[in-house]
Amino acid sequence: MTVNREIDDILQRGADGGRITPEEALLIYTDAPLHEMGEAADAVRRRRYPDGIVTYLIDRNINYTNVCVTACKFCAFFRAPKHKEGWSHPMEEILRRCGEAVDLGATQVMLQGGHHPDYGTSYYENLFSSVKAAYPQLAIHSIGPSEILHMAKVDGISIEDAILRIKAAGLDSIAGAGAEMLPERPRKAIAPLKESGARWLEVMETAHGHGIESTATMMMGTGETHAERVEHIAMIRDVQDRTGGFRAFIPWTYQPENNHLKGRTQATTLEYLRFIAMSRLFLHNVDHLQASWLTTGKEVGQLSLHMGVDDLGSIMLEENVISSAGAKHRSNLHDLIWMIRSAGRIPAQRDTLYRHLAVHHTPADDPTDDRVTSHFSSIAIPGGGVGRSLPLVDAH
């Protein structure tokens, strides 16, 4: 069989919902014509979502501390313990930010922070239960396996015990944070103090077993090979075969400012779009594929809608971690809806579980709140912006 014929067969099988091997995924990622691969990936989207709807979310990323002992080389957000720029927010500050988010129509908060040496499971129990008590309408889609491992280590308890306790306290689902690159070589190169990729997946699998779903992510552009990118999603697919607990896959591109990697690598736009399309074909058992306009820009985000993507992620009312590494792309609700509609899709606001809250069939259905804009970066202000309101919220 010629290479072209082999590629055509792989693309057709993937488009039809069949399973392709990691070796086949690598072949189409490196060698398939972009438009043919995009067309096959979009066939998957059309078959799964024949209504043509592309979703978005309104949420806020709230960081409770920037103190961290893990010191990942790509991270510009963390400060070491006792650093003069380190901070931790009091509960009233976190709840104030949740309230602002609710006022702007947010349905989800992502509570994330560094691995603070003093924060064990009881800290997170108090955090989640306090948010749930004050704002029961907010889904807590928060932390990641790294934080769960950290809190279990601080307390000397099992991963399972930690998961059960934070679930009981109000954690609704786990973010795909901390995945970065799961294969061993690139992971050790960029985050030598972090848990292994296998351990990251083990925490996710344990959580899935207790009814907590999650998302999965990948950071591309830190020097990993094409084969290692494929290995990353193969590791995710293997767990998904057993649990079905990954709701969505979200690849994003490494941001090069203010961190120790200094932008020596980075993924190109073309690499990103090819990877998006290949991922849609390979991850036949993951329902949703989300584009990262925050790291790639709105134009690339819109292009990805023709590569199998069915979700544009969130209008993040606040985001600090990726912003501190140089992600400068901003959007607002009108922009996001325009991106979706001008790509020939129907925009819809969703919740954490991908249920449609409002479908904007025509411009007459569009929301009119001009305040819903991304995104305030509070770490530009000393102390993490304690007491500072979102600049987009009208004072009265």
* Structural tokens at position 26: 């690598």
166: left (phi over 0), alpha (psi -120 to 50) or beta: alpha
Place of tokens 């009814």: 211
3-state secondary structure of 37: helix
Estimate to the nearest angstrom the gap between the alpha carbon of 262 and the chain centroid. Answer: 22
Pairing verdict, β 214-220 and 246-253: parallel
From first to last of the 396 residues of the chain, give the pLDDT tens digit: 577 999 999 999 999 999 999 999 999 999 999 999 999 999 999 999 999 999 999 999 898 988 887 766 556 666 777 788 888 899 999 999 999 999 988 999 999 988 888 899 999 999 999 999 999 999 999 999 999 999 999 999 999 999 999 999 999 999 998 899 999 999 999 888 889 999 999 999 999 999 999 999 999 998 899 999 999 999 999 999 999 999 999 998 876 544 454 444 567 899 999 999 999 999 999 999 999 887 788 888 899 999 999 999 888 677 554 444 444 444 578 888 999 999 999 999 999 999 999 999 999 998 877 776 655 555 445 566 666 666 554 433
Say how far apart CA 304 and CA 34 lie, in whole Å.
Answer: 12
Closest CA to 195 of 209, 208, 184, 210: 184
Domain boundaries, the chain: 22-382
Instruction: Give the angle subtended at the CA of 390 by the CAs of 251 and 58, to the nearest 5°.
Output: 40
Judge contact between 352 and 106, C-beta under 8 A: no
How long is the chain?
396
Say how far apart CA 146 and CA 68 lie, in whole Å.
Answer: 11
* CA contacts within 13 A on the Cβ side of 173: 19
pTM comes to 0.88
pLDDT at 3: 74
3-state secondary structure of 108: strand
pLDDT at 393: 44
Q: Domain 22-382 - what CATH class?
A: alpha beta
pLDDT at 296: 80
Q: How many CB atoms are located within 10 Å of the residue 343 CB?
A: 18
Instruction: Give the angle subtended at the CA of 146 by the CAs of 314 and 195, to the nearest 5°.
Output: 130
Say how far apart CA 46 and CA 26 lie, in whole Å.
Answer: 24
Judge contact between 111 and 94, C-beta under 8 A: yes
